[in-house]
Amino acid sequence: MSVTLDSPAAATQQHPAQLHPARGVRIGHVHLKVAELDRALAFWRDVIGLEVQQRIGAQAVFLSADGYHHHIALNTWESAGGSPPGFGTTGLYHVALLYPDRAGLARALKALVASNWPLEGASDHGVSEALYLRDPDGNGVELYRDRDPAEWPRDAAGNLAMVTRRLDLRALLNEAG
């Protein structure tokens, strides 16, 4: 039996390799191509707060938030001295780092302010609160915290109804202590 993508059966049939939470699948790490390793490391380590787990000379560095082998890896293998991708090109939109709670996100904002690192945006999506910025190589970075699923906005049919509203940065900073 063959199923075409536009058939009603295709919409309900699962692909055998489909990712599913019950199988324990999650994003393990992101590997970013950077132009200058030390410049990128200064951002990801000193501004964002990740810890170096391993460094391979001037070619690569592996960082994590909690001693894991790496959540973010930076390398210059194909990109040393390179330029960020131009507007209108394909590639990574952003890397998203999930904070465990609002206080953690507030501390991240406080670190950005202290580092004088510019934000591109800050949004309340109903399901989450997010800060948006770029790393030194132009890669999009989202720092966010999820709300409890019981608080997520839903429409009359019970479907998720995410929004994009302005995030009150002053109120968030007040939670940083």
Summarised one tens digit per residue, pLDDT across range 104-134 is 999 999 999 999 999 999 999 999 999 999 9
pLDDT at position 165 is: 97
pLDDT of residue 22: 64
pLDDT attached to residue 87: 87
Q: In what helix (H) or strand (E) does residue 37 lie, and over which residues does it extend?
A: helix 37-41
- Residue 171: what pLDDT? 97
Q: Residues of the chain whose pLDDT is less than 70?
A: 1-23
Q: Which two tokens stand for residue 75?
A: 């390398």
**pTM (predicted TM-score):** 0.86
Give the N- to C-terminal CA distance of the chain in Å, as an integer: 61
Which pLDDT score, from 0 to 100, does residue 3 have? Answer: 41
In the block, tokens 């391979």 appear at 56
How many C-beta atoms lie closer than 10 Å to residue 62's C-beta? Answer: 21
Ordered domains of the chain (ranges, CATH): 28-80 (3.10.180.10), 92-177 (3.10.180.10)
- Token couple for 140: 């999009």
Distances 129 to 21, 53, 104, 141 between C-alpha atoms, Å: 23, 29, 12, 14
With beta carbons less than 8 A apart as the criterion, state whether 144 and 105 touch: yes
